Structure 1
Amino acid sequence: MQITNVRAHHIRIPYDAGVASFKQGASAISALEIVLVEVSTDAGLTGWGDAFSYVCPRSSATAIDEMIAPQARGLEVPDAIDIPAFMDRIQRNLHLFGRYGITMFAISALDIALWDLAARAQGVPLHRLLGTRKRARIPAYASLLRIGTPDLVASECETALRRGYTAIKLHETTSPAVFAARRAIGDGIPLMVDMNCPMTSAEAIAFAHECKAAAPMFLEEPVWPPEDFAALAETRTKGGLDIAAGENACTINQFRQMMDAGAVGYAQPSVTKVGGITEYLKVVDLADERGVRLAPHSPYFGPGLLATLQLLSLRDDKTFVEFFYMNRAACLWRGAIDVGADGAVAVPEGPGLGYEPDRAVMERYRV
């Protein structure tokens, strides 16, 4: 079975996050930018991947077209056992263009699509190709966008609990917002705080002490720059709260450096950024070996979310799936991956990643 084409689809789906906002740079983001990658074969099977693309969809799509497609067209589709070697070759061929960021986002998309194809070729869901499924439903935490005002933070947390969520993650950088959330949800609900790399280690240590009584499960990426693992380790040691990081790390190598430094208690590989399923699995093995817990990054709604669900189904450690807390104008998967009344998401049972994207939705929201 040969790869006949690799195509990037830029899809933009509007969303409503209520009182929350999401900013990168100066502009608020008002739509989900998704770069789907379609890998076609001469056998009629299609695999789907996902390149991370919040504010860089055109760049991610161009990387697919200019770097990934020429590498992949005409090649034999590797089976599951050979995908790691195949992807190692792709990484080596493209290393000149970076081992981080856009290049790795594009590589991740190809890798996800190849695993999708490998499982589809055998007619089984991805989790069965990789191991033994231990969970049919994955508990989701509500990943709230940044709000700022403590009263509004509390209100959104209460609404999320009413919708069935059993854990909350904030994107806040002030202790009043953290305490407002804790008062709203009570003591028994896990609370996480994602900070998006704003502080020095000294500032982050002070913030950790301020928030300690609110008992967050972890502070996520409190320090700038995110690759300063020594500063993260210092914050973890002196701040008295656990640290999560890794959504901005690419390949097993950065995660090894992170863990060698003692920087994290929670590793956060993002399947659409780290190098795909292949690298994600390496990170999981390393984390398990080092006694580091898993909290994967997955606030997206393309094939990357399906892949994350498949991968989390292999674990029985109650690991949550991250789920963006928002109302979307449409769903590529016909609502099949929505959070249920029990606060969990069903693991897809179809071949490969489990579902085919809705082409009508793709066409309606195509850029």
Structure 2
Amino acid sequence: MLITNVRAHHIRIPYEAGVASFKQGASAIAAVDIVLVEVSTDTGLTGWGDAWGYVCPQTTSTAIDEMIAPQARGLEVPDAAGIPAFMDRIQRNLHLFGRYGITMFAISGLDIALWDLAARVKGEPLHRLIGACRRARIPAYASLLRIGDPALVANECEAALRRGYPAIKLHETTVPPVFAARQAVGTGIPLMVDMNCPMDEAAATAFAQACRAAAPLFLEEPVWPPEDFKALAAVRAKGGLAIAAGENACTVYQFRQMMTEGAVTYAQPSVIKVGGITEYLKVAALADAMGVKLAPHSPYFGPGFLATLQLMSLRDDGTFIEIFYMNRAACLWRGRIDIDAKGSIAVPEGPGLGYEPDNEIMERYRVS
């Protein structure tokens, strides 16, 4: 079976997030951009991947068209055992363009699609191709966008609990919203705080110490720059809170640096950034070997989310899957990744990633 084409599809689905906002520079973002990666074969079988493209979907799409497609087109589709060597060759061929960022996002999309294909060839779900399923449903946490105002944060936390979420993550960089959230949800609900890399070591340490009484499960990415693992380790040692990081890390090599420094309690590989399923599995194995917990990054709604569900089903470590807390105009999977009354999502049992993207939704929200 040969790869006949690799194609990027840019899908933009509007959302409404109420009092929350998400900004990149001066521009407010009101839609989720998904860069689907379609790998076609000469047998008619198709695999679907997902490449990180928030705020830069056209750039990621161009990387797939100009760098990834020429590398893969015309080659034999590897089976599961052959995917790591296949992807290693592509990483080597493209290393001049960088081992992180856009290049690795595009590589991630191809890798996920190849794993999808490998499982589809076998006619089984991805998790069964890799190992034994230990969880049929994955509990989810509501990943709130940044709000700022403590009273509004408390209201959104209460609303998320009413919708069934068993845990909540904030995106706040001041102390009062953290305590407002804790008061709103009570002591029995896991609460996490994602900061998105705003502070130096001293400020992040002070923030962690100030938040200790609110008992967050972890403080996520408090330090700028995110690759300053020595500073992150210092915040972990002196701040009194568990530290999570890794959504901005690509490949197992950067995670090894992070873990060797003792920088994290929770490693957060993002399957559509880290290098795909191949690198994710390496990170998971490394985390287990080094006694680091896993808390995957997954605030997206394309094939990468399905891949994360499949991968998390292989572990019975009680981790949550991350879901952006927003109301989307549509879903590529026709609502099958919505949480149930207990705040969990079923792991797909269909071949490959489990579901086919809805073609009608793709065409309705396609960006030319």
Q: TM-score, normalising length from structure 1?
A: 1.00
Where does 1:198-209 land on structure 2 (aligned, <5 Å)?
198-209=198-209
Cα distance between partner residues in 2 of 1:26 and 1:224:
20
1:322 maps to a residue whose letter is E
Deviations 1:201-240 (A, max 9, x none): 1000000111000000110000000000000000000000
Query: RMSD in angstroms over aligned alpha carbons?
Result: 0.4
Aligned to 1:223: 223
Aligned to 2:273: 273
Where does 1:170-189 land on structure 2 (aligned, <5 Å)?
170-189=170-189
Count residues in correspondence.
Answer: 367
Cα distance between partner residues in 2 of 1:144 and 1:346:
22
Deviations 1:44-85 (A, max 9, x none): 110000000111000000000000000010000000000000
Q: Secondary structure at the match of 1:342?
A: coil
Q: Secondary structure at the match of 2:94?
A: helix
1:187 maps to a residue whose letter is T
Aligned to 1:328: 328
Where does 1:1-40 land on structure 2 (aligned, <5 Å)?
1-40=1-40
Cα distance between partner residues in 2 of 1:26 and 1:19:
17
List alignment gaps of at least 5 residues for structure 2: none
Aligned to 1:193: 193
1:34 maps to a residue whose letter is I
| CA positional deviation for 1:25 | 1.5
Cα distance between partner residues in 1 of 2:26 and 2:52:
20
List alignment gaps of at least 5 residues for structure 1: none
Deviations 1:300-349 (A, max 9, x none): 00000000000000000111100110000000001111111110011001
Aligned to 1:130: 130
Q: Secondary structure at the match of 1:70?
A: helix
Aligned to 2:296: 296
Aligned to 1:161: 161
Cα distance between partner residues in 2 of 1:25 and 1:279:
30
Moved over 6 A (4+): none
Where does 1:339-350 land on structure 2 (aligned, <5 Å)?
339-350=339-350
| CA positional deviation for 1:294 | 0.6
Cα distance between partner residues in 2 of 1:282 and 1:59:
27
2:22 maps to a residue whose letter is F
Cα distance between partner residues in 1 of 2:139 and 2:159:
17
Q: TM-score, normalising length from structure 2?
A: 0.99
Correspondence 1:104 to 2:104: yes
| CA positional deviation for 1:24 | 1.5
| CA positional deviation for 1:10 | 0.3
2:104 maps to a residue whose letter is M
1:119 maps to a residue whose letter is A
Cα distance between partner residues in 2 of 1:199 and 1:340:
37
Q: Secondary structure at the match of 1:81?
A: helix
Identical columns (%): 81
Cα distance between partner residues in 2 of 1:179 and 1:78:
51
